[in-house]
């Protein structure tokens, strides 16, 4: 069998895309947007900063913190030149990122799609690491780490994660530390590359005025077949409770800011219904149209920077509320009381209906952006969710679904407050 091609259609949205299980083991998504001038492609691996401990080919491997991010940097270099220089010739806008759970390489372009796809599929499969180039990168990434260490926005988040988690590597900076990256060698990079950069562990998403035949032809030609092996990821035991309820760091010259984290069950992976219900619940609870937001603003406890996000990945799950505040402790106390009351009494039905319409509209609007579609497809692939089903669930989610997610995700007795205290030295 050359490839198993599945057409996934949504009549309500009048959209379709193709999911292809390629003979190499690679999963390929093609989302045609006829008439669009721009195209977008993302090539990702299910390998992020938390994956430093794993079994591969019967061997237990423990890698230095920051190695996934380091590998992302190094893959752009090859014996025949830098990938960014090749993209400069074709006119594409290229980038890459490493998150807790994945690493992705991407580009957007308005022409030369085939050439740009060739570059993307080529350099990601051609690792080139030497002692000299690896050592050179240590200085570059070391500067990046120090820059983030000096960023109050970055520190307030990782201080929070360090307070929420006892053992899970999500509490460790994505780029690692200056000390940990000093341990990275070409051998360790190849070890991780050969374990995680296999077709079975990767996905390719192409969005734009593109046809399946073009993408399949390039994948047939360029992607090397996998051997069917899967990596076993290992995580340390993580207690249910938070490691610390309060973390503070003084940052002279910064505004005072906070993040309040609600720690949920790390083994809980949300399906499409739960993911949509969680988004609706959080919008009803804390969007800028919510009673909580209004109360916090009226009491001068937050400003327009206030926001929230769900943090979900292998072995970790939770919700973060963040913002600038003159009194972060009182802001956190207010949020926790509001959450406790909502858990007891349920979400207001009118707030729920407003949230449901808003989230469905937001989800549907993603389909107007090639980059938003690509990001959503790669995210769905690695979480085991289907894009259209998630959007449909947002339209049909019930109040009891949102209340269920409220009680699963937000335990006011299991929180960490991280504060960056600004001011003068």
Residue-wise pLDDT for 162-177, tens only, equals 999 999 999 999 999 9
- How far is residue 395 from each of residues 6, 270, 392, measured CA to CA in Å? 24, 17, 5
Residue 422 has pLDDT above 90, yes or no: no
Q: Quick one: pLDDT band at residue 68, thresholds 50, 70, 90?
A: very high
Number of domains observed in the structure of the chain: 2
Query: Are both 207 and 258 inside the same structural domain?
Result: no
- pLDDT, average across residues 169-189: 96
Burial class (CB in 10 A: 0-12, 13-18, 19+), 232: exposed
Contact 353, 298 (CB under 8 A): no
Domain end call among 233, 265, 300: 233
Query: Are both 220 and 277 inside the same structural domain?
Result: no
- How far is residue 383 from each of residues 101, 108, 236, 271, measured CA to CA in Å? 10, 24, 21, 8
Q: Residue with structure tokens 């984290």?
A: 261
Residue 115 lies in a domain: yes
Distance CA 32, CA 18 (A): 9
Strand, coil or helix: 215 = helix
Query: Are both 153 and 251 inside the same structural domain?
Result: no
Count of beta carbons in the 10 Å neighbourhood of residue 183: 15
> Domain range holding 309?
246-421
Strand, coil or helix: 127 = coil
**Bridge partners for 184 per DSSP:** none
Catalytic-labelled residue, pool 2, 21, 34, 72: 72
Query: Are both 163 and 88 inside the same structural domain?
Result: yes
Q: Containing H/E element for 202?
A: strand 202-208
Q: Annotated catalytic, 60?
A: no
Distance CA 127, CA 79 (A): 9
Mean pLDDT taken over the chain: 95
| Residue 338's CATH number | 3.30.830.10
Contact 209, 32 (CB under 8 A): yes
Distance CA 231, CA 56 (A): 5
Contact 345, 179 (CB under 8 A): no
Query: Are both 162 and 225 inside the same structural domain?
Result: yes
423 Rama class: left (phi>0) / alpha (psi -120 to 50) / beta: left
Q: Provide the pLDDT for residue 1.
A: 45
Distance CA 45, CA 103 (A): 5
Among residues 231, 185, 150, the alpha carbon closest in space to that of 67 is found at 185
Structure token pair of residue 238: 């993580």
Residue 360 has pLDDT above 50, yes or no: yes
Residue 272 lies in a domain: yes
pLDDT per residue as tens digits for the range 285-342: 999 999 999 999 999 999 999 999 999 999 999 999 999 999 999 999 999 999 999 9
Q: Residue with structure tokens 């207690």?
A: 239
Q: Provide the pLDDT for residue 361.
A: 96
Query: Are both 227 and 254 inside the same structural domain?
Result: no
Distance CA 219, CA 213 (A): 10
Query: Are both 205 and 271 inside the same structural domain?
Result: no
Residue 425 has pLDDT above 80, yes or no: no
């Amino acid at each position: 069998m050359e490839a198993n091609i599945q057409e996934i259609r949504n009549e309500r949205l009048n959209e379709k895309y193709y999911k292809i299980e390629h003979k190499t083991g690679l999963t390929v998504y093609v989302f045609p947007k006829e008439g669009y001038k721009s195209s977008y492609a993302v090539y990702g691996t299910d390998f992020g900063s938390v994956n430093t401990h794993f079994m591969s080919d019967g061997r237990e491997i423990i890698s230095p913190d920051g190695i996934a991010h380091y590998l992302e940097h190094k893959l752009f270099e090859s014996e025949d030149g830098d990938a960014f220089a090749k993209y400069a010739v074709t006119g594409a806008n290229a980038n890459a990122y490493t998150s807790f759970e994945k690493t992705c390489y991407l580009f957007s372009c308005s022409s030369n799609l085939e050439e740009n796809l060739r570059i993307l599929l080529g350099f990601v499969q051609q690792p080139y690491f030497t002692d000299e180039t690896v050592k050179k990168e240590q200085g570059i990434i070391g500067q990046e780490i120090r820059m983030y260490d000096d960023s109050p926005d970055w520190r307030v988040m990782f201080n929070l994660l360090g307070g929420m988690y006892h053992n899970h590597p999500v509490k460790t900076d994505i780029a690692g530390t200056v000390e940990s990256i000093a341990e990275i060698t070409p051998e360790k990079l190849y070890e991780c590359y050969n374990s995680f950069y296999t077709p079975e562990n990767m996905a390719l998403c192409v969005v734009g005025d593109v046809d399946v035949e073009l993408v399949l032809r390039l994948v047939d030609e360029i992607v090397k077949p996998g051997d069917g092996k899967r990596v076993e990821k290992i995580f340390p035991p993580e207690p249910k409770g938070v490691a610390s309820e309060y973390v503070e760091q003084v940052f002279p010259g910064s505004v005072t800011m906070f993040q309040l984290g609600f720690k949920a069950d790390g083994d809980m992976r949300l399906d499409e219904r739960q993911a949509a219900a969680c988004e609706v619940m959080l919008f009803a609870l804390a969007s800028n149209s919510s009673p909580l937001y209004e109360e916090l603003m009226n009491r001068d406890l937050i400003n327009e920077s206030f926001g929230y996000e769900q943090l979900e990945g292998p072995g970790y799950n939770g919700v973060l509320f963040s913002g600038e505040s003159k009194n972060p402790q009182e802001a956190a106390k207010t949020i926790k009381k509001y959450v406790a009351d909502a858990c007891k009494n349920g979400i207001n039905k009118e707030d729920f209906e407003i949230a449901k319409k808003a989230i469905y509209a937001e989800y549907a609007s993603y389909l107007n952006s090639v980059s938003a579609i690509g990001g959503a497809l790669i995210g769905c692939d690695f979480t085991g969710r289907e894009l259209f089903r998630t959007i449909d669930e947002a339209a049909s989610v019930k109040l009891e679904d949102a209340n269920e997610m409220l009680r699963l995700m937000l335990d006011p007795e299991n929180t960490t407050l991280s504060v960056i205290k600004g001011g003068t030295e």
